[in-house]
Amino acid sequence: MVIRLNTGEAQREAMTVLVYVDYVPATRQPRQESLAIIDIARDIASKLGKEIEGVVINSVVVATKLRDMKMLPKVYNIRLKNIPEGTYIPTLFGEALVEFCKKKNIDVLLFPATQRCREIAPYVAARLDTGLVADVSDLYVDEKGEIIAVKPSFGENILAHIYIPDRKPKMFTVRASLKKKISSTYEACELVHEEVSIQDHSSIEYVKSAQVYDPDIEMLPERHDIVIGVGAGLSRDSIELVKAIAKKMGIGVGATKKITDRGILSSKFLIGESGKIIRPRVYIALGISGAPQHMTGIKDYELLIAVNIDERAPIVNYSTHFYKSDANELVRKIAELVLR
């Protein structure tokens, strides 16, 4: 596959921090995660005295929306010749970015850590023979002017501070906080159209897509600020009640491994090792003993309210509030109040 930008002579421009704007092809909406990393990009750019720009691939609709938001001073839309607007193909998106970075002298390339970006970014890094740090929780500039990425690993028990010397662009997929408000800060945003042509795209073709309808999706723990965690201290019936309560109240449900192993809840609800890492404001731990394999999945909470029959359970050490009780009894009581 060969891709060339039809924009004539490569020209050296000012050094740039580029934000890749991911979007949902089905709706042509920019992902919130994309917008949330703009502040981080702006901060890095101002510390390094660089410009900040955004890039959208293959969607005029998304690029126009982005222009109207004025969160960036300049946005590029790279149209893929012969590929319908809004169609996503990882290798083609990757190749388009590779050509763009080479041409525009990009110093830093930031992606939101969405699933599509986690798919494209490593390909781009390999093609450009540069470094990429995945799913970073923080970026800062050290006293030598080097960008340092904080990368949680080993169940986030270890924070590695990683940098990319002597290569361009320095690439990062960045985990953004969606809790912060985003504001537009530029008077205007310039939209620039570029086009790349693809000589051979027969190796991978988009066929179709479908929305997943799963009644449990709305309760997934990573989607909520308030999450009820269920552990082995709860009966199967109590867990059914917790699901009904969570659904009614619009909050999330998480589970320990014992619960997902028994098939009471699917592994999508598993929190901790080999499951999800979440950042709720409030975690309500019902019948959870507090094994490190579970607790490693709950980070940066404001309140952790534990309900357990055993006052010496390790969960106590993680809790801001502790209530000694059979959690089943409490669930029945809450169900009476909420579901009546």
Report the site for another protein in 113-152 (rule: CB under 8 A). Answer: 114-116, 118-123, 125-127, 129-135, 142, 148, 152
When the beta carbons of 189 and 246 are compared against another protein, the nearer one is 246
Structure token digits, residue 21: 């704007």
292 binds another protein (CB under 8 A): yes
Which of these ranges, 13-21, 47-55, 77-85, 323-331, lies near another protein under the rule CB under 8 A?
323-331
End-to-end CA gap in the chain? 62
Q: Residues binding another protein: what is the number (CB under 8 A)? A: 95
73 binds another protein (CB under 8 A): no
Cis check: omega of the bond before 169, within 30 degrees of 0: yes
Pick the binder of another protein from 205, 215, 312, 340 (CB under 8 A).
205
CB 161 within 8 A of CB 168: no
Give the distance, in angstroms, between the CA of residue 21 and the centroid of all CA atoms in the same chain: 13
CA angle 147, 296, 218 (to 5 degrees): 95
The H or E element spanning position 62 is: helix 60-69
When the beta carbons of 94 and 231 are compared against another protein, the nearer one is 94
Pick the binder of another protein from 51, 138, 195, 225 (CB under 8 A).
225
d(CA 154, CA 66): 36
d(CA 41, CA 48): 11
d(CA 104, CA 122): 19
Which of these ranges, 43-51, 57-65, 184-192, 277-285, lies near another protein under the rule CB under 8 A?
277-285
289 binds another protein (CB under 8 A): no
183 binds another protein (CB under 8 A): no
Residue 79: C-alpha distances to residues 74, 85, 252 (Å):
16, 8, 39
157 binds another protein (CB under 8 A): yes
Pick the binder of another protein from 13, 68, 214, 310 (CB under 8 A).
214
85 binds another protein (CB under 8 A): no
Per-residue binding string, another protein, 234-273, x by CB under 8 A, is: ---------------xxx--------x------xx-x-xx
Q: Is 260 left (phi over 0), alpha (psi -120 to 50) or beta?
A: alpha
Pairing of β 321-324 and β 303-308:
parallel
89 binds another protein (CB under 8 A): yes
**Please, which of residues 7-66 interact with another protein by CB under 8 A?**
24, 26
Report the residue count for the chain: 340
The H or E element spanning position 169 is: none
Pick the binder of another protein from 2, 165, 181, 188 (CB under 8 A).
165
The H or E element spanning position 227 is: strand 226-230
Structure token digits, residue 26: 């089905």
CB of 222 to another protein, least distance (A): 9
CB of 193 to another protein, least distance (A): 26
167 binds another protein (CB under 8 A): yes
Contacts of 120 (CB under 8 A, 6+ apart): 20, 90, 93, 94, 97, 111
Which of these ranges, 2-10, 67-75, 236-244, 314-322, lies near another protein under the rule CB under 8 A?
314-322
CB of 93 to another protein, least distance (A): 11
When the beta carbons of 188 and 207 are compared against another protein, the nearer one is 207
